Amino acid sequence: MSGLFDRLQKEIENKQSEGGITALDLADLPTALRKIMRLMLRELQLSYPQLTETIASIPKEDRLPLNELDEALEVLTHQSWLIRIGTGDKAIYKVNLRRKVGSNIAKGVWTSLDSKLKK
């Protein structure tokens, strides 16, 4: 059974290293997708039943029909905005945030200071 667990863990790690989002990317999303991502960013992880329950509690004029929710989740997963673990009602969705790239500014500052102190 450890082989199955190892394979699933590797799949999760691979999906997390793909793409991801930044806050600036949200502005480019269509309205329905943006609403789902705003909800997901508040929770970071939701199961499919939790997600449908939360969507059902939204006022009717802002609510997505279930078929549109499913389509939106498929699009967001395909575009690596969300990571889906499992399928159907047992699926869990997680936000795929990009890792921040380290800054080289600090290195340059310390190098400059070191060179000035050595003079």
Q: What are the structural domain ranges in the chain?
A: 9-118
Bigger pLDDT: 104 or 10? 10
**Mean pLDDT on 8-28:** 62
What percent of the chain shows pLDDT beyond 90? 19
| Residues 33-79: tens digit of each pLDDT | 888 888 888 888 999 999 999 988 888 888 888 889 999 999 999 88
Task: Identify the CATH number of the domain defined by range 9-118.
Answer: 1.10.10
Using CA atoms, how far residue 108 sits from 93, 98, 118, in Å, is 40, 25, 15
Which residue in this structure is represented by tokens 């498929």? 74
Measured distance between the N- and C-terminal CA atoms of the chain, rounded to whole angstroms: 63
pTM (2 d.p.): 0.62
